[in-house]
Every structure is written in C-alpha cells, then in structure tokens.
Chains A and B, each alone.
Chain A
Amino acid sequence: MTVLAKNSAKEHDNDLLVAVAAGNRRALEELYVSYHRRLARFLSRFTPRYENVEEIINDTFMVVWQRSKDFRYASQVSTWIIGIAYRTALKSLRRQKNHAGALRLDDYPEQTTDPTLETEVRDWLKHGLERLPIEQRLTLELAYHMGHSLEEIAAITECPVGTVKARMFHAREKLRQYLPTLGGSACALSMRDE
C-alpha cells in the first residue's frame, strides 16, 4: 500500500468511526467488512475453529459499537480495532486453554523430542508457535503476520515498547529451540520450504 493510499484509508476509517459514534449502523457494517478478512486470517492462526474466529470478531465489533464515542482519534482507528481484537482473543484463548488442542500457556516449553531433519519448516514453526506463551506468540504474529511496527504493537497491546521488545526477544529465543537443526542454516530451511 502506498503512503497516499494508506493515509486515505486512515481518513476513511476515521470518517466511518465518527459515523459509528453517531449511531450509524451502515458505517459499522462497512468497517466490519473492511476489517473482517484481516482479523479472520490473524485469528485463525490461534484458533482453528471458525465459530471462535467469528465470535471474537463479533465481540470486537460490539465493543467498537459501544465504545466508538470514547475514541479520541489520538491513535489510529486500525490500531484501536486490532487492539480490541487482541484483548478479546487473549481472553478467549485463555478460556480455551484447558480444552483439547488449545494453546499451551506455560512459560517454559518442553524441548522437542525429535527435531529431525525431515521436519518441514512449517511443521516446526507451527510446533514451536503453539508452545509459546500467548502474549509472546501474539507479539510475533502482530509483527510477522500483520506487519505492525514496534510502536503499533505497543499501542495495540497497551504495553510499553520495552515490554514488546522483551516479548519478541523471548519468542524468538524459544522458537529457536524447535529448529530442526541446532544452529541450522537458514538457507537449507528456506530451500526445504519450497
């Protein structure tokens, strides 16, 4: 997206949120449609069931509807909406933590039993990501999947920049424990990714 397109998208989001704050349902629906794909793809990385994704998105937009009047336009509308989705997802994922197939929340992941060379990059990534504490994983996803800057992630997660840096640092450290080859070459990994 060009800088110009980005700015006009921002302005459009602002206009829509002003209308939402005035009680305009159409504006809310437009905002919903424009964020749905982004949020669905992001959330589907944490929760495999579509109903959960749908529920988190709808809970998010209920909050958008109810709190739009309090938004002060000091930050970006996108950061605000993704921040609400982040907190809603965090709550929902914590609720699911004891259910089968849900994320592990322990701070210290087990060492992989057999990090064989045959493991596909995506497999070990998936394996590693599922074992990260949820805040660390979300930080990584916000940066790598969603492309957010350090400052944006701090705004979304309502954390100091230092906390985001620390979470990212620990996430990367832990993820590397799941590398198929210890100190393995990234080139080899990239090639196997084909």
Chain B
Amino acid sequence: MNYDHPSHAVREHQEISTLIPWYLNGSIAEHQRQRLDVHVSLCAECRDDLALERSVYLGMRAETAVEYMPAASLKLLQARLDGIDAAASVDLPAGLPAAQRPGRAAVPWHGVMAASVAVMAVALSLLAADRWLQARARTTRPDYYTVTTAVPRAPGEVIRAVFAPNITLVELQSLLDEAQLRIISGPTEAGVYSLAANSRRPVNSSLALLRGHAKVRFAESTQPSTGSGELP
C-alpha cells in the first residue's frame, strides 16, 4: 500500500479492516465496497485478513440441516394468547361491547386473581366448554329434537344453545360475556348447553344476541314465563 502519508495510511488500513465483515455479507454501500477493493489490491495484510475472514464467514453461513416447522410451536403460542384473552375478559366492566374489549395484556394476572369470584366463574365455564369441545368431537350432527324435550331444565337455566363446531373457546367466552350468560351445564350428547343469566339483562335480549351470532347454531329460551321455541 501507499505509505506516503503514514498516519493516513494507518487510519485507512484500520477502517478497512472494520468494514470487512459487512463487505463479506454484502451489506455495505457501493462506495465503501469500491474503497475496500482498492485498498485490498494494494495492501497484502488486508488481503490475507479478507481471505481468512471469508473462510469464517462461509463456515458460519452454512445452514444447519435441521428444519423447524412452525405449526406445533404456533399452537403453544395460541394457547398462551387464549389464556391472556380469557383472563382479560374477566375484569371488564359489564356491558362493554366485545369489539371494545382490550382482549390482551390489559389485565395483569394479580388483578385477575383479585376478582376471584369472576375467575371461578370463568374457570367453570371454560371447564364446561372443554367438555363441550370433547363432546363436539363425538357428535358431529346434534339432534335438535332433544333440546327441548329430553333434557330437564337445570335450576337457573334460562337459555339452551348449540354452538358451531368451529367456534373457539375465546369466541365462546366473549359471546357469553356480551350476552351476560354463563354455562351451568352441558354439553349433552347432542352438544346442548344450559346457560344461566349473569345479570338482570332481559333473557330475550341475550337470546337475540346469541341468535345474531354467526357461530350459534341454535338458541332457545327455557324460562317458564317466556315459554320455549323460536322467538322473532
């Protein structure tokens, strides 16, 4: 290299040396690349340095043979997110529409635990929903005839409902929150749930909400006063 101006040459040599890794991975700007090419053509030390570093680069760039599939770990993540969603929906003020629910990270766990009664309710309904998910696997075509006739009305039951096979636990929980209902029993072999009211919200209004939901296959009131069967 050119030693006419030693201090400049030394500085240039050092700067070039620090550029080498990014020269190798192709991420430096074109003018920097040219500057390095020129320097390397004149400086044997940097030429050796570059060649040595290239072997390190190539060795590290070599891909591992192992291939990771995202599906299984994505399921684990989804389960974690479902947990957060379920927890977050517990602590919300009644009557807040589902669309406005934060649905995540809004409620720290200690806050949830403070509302122990609500936690119990959700835990119970999730447990029931879990049983329902299992039952769902057994009964693909629920027999709606049995909904009103065969099953005796559970104490506190106001509505019976059948949900679509593809409804998720989170969707179910959020729908029940919105309708201010909770699962008190079910599912039956036919996939029917007994629901009780969580508030003084009129049963007809909860019923209308269920019927308006795309993933509710069937919903009926079982309250003695309002009778049963389809409402307008």
Contacts and interface: CB of A to CB of B under 8 A. Distances in A.
Nearest to A189: B55
A143 B22 contact: yes
A23 B103 contact: yes
A58 B68 contact: no
Interface stretch (A6-14, A32-40, A91-99, A111-119): A32-40
B73 A36 contact: yes
Given A58-B76, A186-B52, A193-B59, 5 more contacts: A58-B73, A66-B105, A145-B61, A152-B27, A187-B51
B60 interface: yes
Interface of B: 18, 21-22, 24-28, 48, 51-64, 66-68, 70, 72-74, 76-78, 80-81, 102-105
B55 A193 contact: yes
Contacts of B104: 23, 65-66
A40 B70 CA distance: 9
A56 B105 CA distance: 19
Interface stretch (A71-79, A80-88, A100-108, A169-177): A169-177
A65 B77 CA distance: 11
Nearest to A125: B59
A135 interface: no
A53 interface: yes
B21 A143 contact: yes
Interface residues of A, number: 48
Contacts of B53: 172, 186
14 contacts: A25-B81, A32-B74, A33-B70, A36-B70, A36-B74, A37-B70, A58-B76, A62-B80, A122-B62, A125-B60, A145-B60, A172-B53, A176-B52, A186-B48
A61 B75 CA distance: 12
Contacts of B26: 147
Contact of A165 (B18, B55, B56, B60): B18
Interface in A41-69: 41, 44-45, 50, 53-54, 57-58, 61-62, 65-66
B60 A41 contact: no
A193 B72 CA distance: 35
A36 B68 contact: yes
A150 B70 contact: no
A61 B105 CA distance: 13
Interface string A121-162: 110010001000000000011011101111010000000000
B76 A147 contact: no
A20 B133 CA distance: 27
Contacts of B102: 23
Which 5 A-B residue pairs are closest in the complex by CB-CB distance? A149-B27, A40-B68, A36-B70, A186-B51, A144-B60
Nearest to A43: B68
Nearest to A45: B64
A2 interface: no
A39 to B, nearest CB: 9
